[in-house]
Each structure stands twice: as C-alpha cells, then as structure tokens.
Chains A and B, each alone.
Chain A
Amino acid sequence: MLPHLDAAYNLARWLAGNDHDAQDVAQEASLRAFKFFGNFRGENARAWLLTIVRNTFYTWLRKNRPPEKTIEFDDETLDIEDVSASAAAAGPQFADADAVRRAIAELPVEFREIVVLREMEGFSYKEIADLSDVPIGTVMSRLARARKLLQKRLAAEFNQGDPA
C-alpha cells in the first residue's frame, strides 16, 4: 500500500514550498492514482504517480496562487555566468544542507522540479521528458541551467564574508 508516497510527498514539498500545501497535493494525487490502479507497483508506478503529483500541483497552483515567476525556455534569455569551472564552486561547504535547501528553494519552479526528478529520484532524461511532457532537449538544457544556478548560488554563499 502507498509504496511511493515518500516520492510523491518529496516532489510536492519541493514544488509547493511548504508542508501544508504539499500534503494536500500529495494526498489528492495519491487518491487519484489509487482510483485508477489500486495496486500498481514497480518503477513505472513511481514515474506515473509523480506525473499525477506534478499535474495536480500545477492545477492547484493555477487556482491558488498568482503566477509564480517562471522561466523563459530560451537558452539565451537567462545569462548565467559559467562558474562550474571556477574553484570557488567546489568544496565541502556544499554539504551544508540548510544552504543547499535555500538555494534549491530559490530556483524557479521548473528548475526545482528537474532537480528533484534527476538528482533525488534518479530518473533518466527520457523518463523526465515523458513525465513532464517536454522534449529531451528541454530536459537537458533545464537541467544544465538549474545546475549552473545552484553552483553559482552555493559559491556565492560560500564566498560571503570572504571577498577574496
């Protein structure tokens, strides 16, 4: 029973940004999923449940919140300095969970989503493309930009109070 509820809640929690709304979304999605496949298990079931969580969340979002700042899907519009190769981006300081949590939470919703699906759930590009109904190319460019943004923010955090 409820084999993938943690995954459903985790995605809902990162998307919605707070426990209360995340519980609502995860509950509605789980009940909807159960209505269709009572004992649907296995790996595909997780992807499928998360698809429902995602759809439930965006429906909920349209109803309950003013439009969140979303990203433009043109690679050129977001000027992200390439910090991936800079030394400041590296280091054990990355392991500070609070700082990482803040950095993820500040990302636009599409980037939070892809970070959860790829890094926390380990879905492949193809699975993420199917799940979020975008081409694989978009998955790759979003993921690359989400990572760059995170590296930049975490590096900035690390550098605070250390202007050198």
Chain B
Amino acid sequence: MNCQQAKPLIEPYADGELEAAAILELEQHLEGCSMCAPAWRNLQVLRKTLKQDALYFTAPEELRQRIKSALPSPAKAAPPRQAWNWNWNWLTTVMSGMAAACLALLLTVTLTRPPSEQPLAQEIVSSHIRSLMASHVMDVVSTDQHTVKPWFNGKLDFSPPVKNLAAQEFPLIGGRLDYIGGRSVAALVFQRHKHVINLFIWPAKEKDSEPVSIAPSQGYNVIHWTGAETAFWAVSDLNEKELMEFVQDFATAAPLKEH
C-alpha cells in the first residue's frame, strides 16, 4: 500500500468503518510511513479533543422541568396530580343520578357503534402516499422476515406477524414504524413488480372480519380485515383484484415461528 492509497483510508480506520481486509495493510503502512503516521496521530489527537466532556452541553434542569410539565400526566409531579384528584372528586359528586345515566347511555352507544372506517381509510392512504414521497418507505430494509420481525422489538407494544410472500410473488422488502389513528403501528412493505404495498398492522379488540375493500381513494385501493385481535390494512396502487390476492395470500401464509 502506498500513501496515495492509504490517505483516504485513515479516517474510516479511525472511525471504525474500515473493512477488515484493508485494516492490516493500512496498519503496516502506518508503521513505516513518515507522511501518514503523523496524519494518523494528529487525527487521534483531534478526535480525543472533540470528545472531551467540557464540550458537551448537558440539558439545563429548567428545560427538563418544562418538558416534564408539558407532558401528559404520568410525567407530572405531585402538585398537578393533586389537582387532578380534586377535579375527579368534584366530578364524582356532580355526576350523580341522571348525569351518570346519560354518560352510561352515551358510552354504550359509542362502544357498540361500528367504528367509522372511511376517515381511517383516508389516513391509511395519506400515510401510504407520504411513505412513497419522502423516500421513507422503509426503516428496516430486508427481504428476510427473520430480520424484519425482530427489528420491531422494543419499538412497538405488540409483535406484528411478519411473513414473506416471495413465493406468491409479493416479496417482503422491509418494514417501518408509522403512526395511525392515534397510535404507533407496524407497516410491512411488500412489492409486486413496481407497485409498493403497505400493510399496516396494530392490535384491535374487534372480532374477526373478512377482508373488505374500502372505496378507492385518490387512485389507491384499500383492503381491511381483522384476525386474531389484530387489525390489518393493506393499501397500494395495485388493482383491487391483485391487492385482494395479496391479502388472501398473507392471511393464509404460515406465520413466522418465534425462535
């Protein structure tokens, strides 16, 4: 290795980004080179200099407190909690007789009414479009379900079923975290030819339901179904027939076994 070759490798080497094969050669060169060795030493001095604690700004306590008090209740300290308790007592007192009955009735109506799917479908389509626009289709890029599934660990409060449908010509190409209907959800990304399919997954209390195609929106087809207390929403610019094929394939494919 000569200086010309060694020079561009010095920084990646210092940063731990140099491939193993090149490391040995570079180390040998650095040992004997009067040009590169000082450059290497100076880089180390600079890096050490930049890492000193004195340069790191720690968050002021007032900032920490301000953020805590702006966060929802679990983060709040004692005084706000007392206020909340007080409000609750006050509320219980007032909420007697007919008021309570009204609330009960209201709750029953709200809970038994089927959830309105149209706004959610719209949100699904928007999220799909956003994922395509921002070159942010995937957080984890892999066609291997054994890579994609563990990637979600610790990022979600549930473990989404991950399946690869390569054999059915819907290869899995990656996964992503997304935010839909007020919660974080898993998005699996599949592909057929050049068409991207986003499959959104989150836990649901609803009982199992067959796949239903929701009226297309902005040229995208959306199919929704529920199974094993999980809500699935598939969205793509694929035609409805192929998207339904995908849904059937996904629903019938064997789930990934836990290791």
Contacts and interface: CB of A to CB of B under 8 A. Distances in A.
Interface of A: 1-2, 5-6, 8-10, 13-14, 19, 22-23, 26-27, 30-31, 34, 36-38, 40-42, 44, 84-87, 89-91, 94-95, 97, 100-101, 104, 115, 118-120, 124-125, 140, 143-144, 147, 150-151, 154
Interface in B143-168: 154-155
Contacts of B91: none
Contacts of B11: 140, 143-144, 147
B51 interface: yes
B49 A9 contact: no
B47 interface: yes
B55 interface: yes
Given A36-B184, A97-B52, A31 B38 contact: no
A84 to B, nearest CB: 5
Interface string B94-105: 000000000000
Given A30-B67, A118-B15, A87 B54 contact: no
A2 B38 contact: no
A128 B64 CA distance: 26
B57 A34 contact: no
Given A2-B68, A22-B57, A104-B55, A85 B49 contact: no
Nearest to A8: B59
Contacts of B56: 6, 10, 120
Contacts of B72: 38
A101 B155 CA distance: 36
Contact of A147 (B36, B46, B154): B46
B257 interface: no
Secondary structure at chain B's binding surface: helix, strand, loop or mixed?
helix
Contact of B51 (A38, A40, A44, A120): A120
Contacts of A120: 50-51, 55-56
Contact of A90 (B36, B41, B155): B41
B187 to A, nearest CB: 14
B70 interface: yes
Contacts of A40: 155
Contact of B17 (A104, A124, A150): A124
Contact of B58 (A10, A44, A86): A10
Contact of A95 (B35, B49, B154): B49
Contacts of B80: none
Contacts of A147: 11, 43, 46
Interface of B: 11-12, 15-17, 35-36, 38-39, 41-43, 45-52, 54-60, 62-64, 66-68, 70-72, 75, 154-155, 179, 184
A97 B55 contact: yes
Contacts of B70: 27, 31
A147 to B, nearest CB: 6
Contacts of B57: 6, 9-10, 13-14, 22
A72 B11 CA distance: 21
B49 A100 contact: yes
A104 B51 CA distance: 12
A124 B14 CA distance: 12
B71 A115 contact: no
Instruction: Identify which of B12, B39, B41 gathers the most chain A CB atoms within 10 Å of its CB.
Output: B39
A147 B39 CA distance: 12
Contacts of A118: 15
B59 A44 contact: no
13 contacts: A14-B57, A27-B66, A37-B155, A44-B155, A90-B45, A94-B46, A94-B48, A100-B52, A119-B51, A120-B55, A120-B56, A125-B17, A151-B42
Nearest to A23: B63
Contacts of B75: 1
B12 A90 contact: no
Contacts of A41: 154
B126 to A, nearest CB: 16
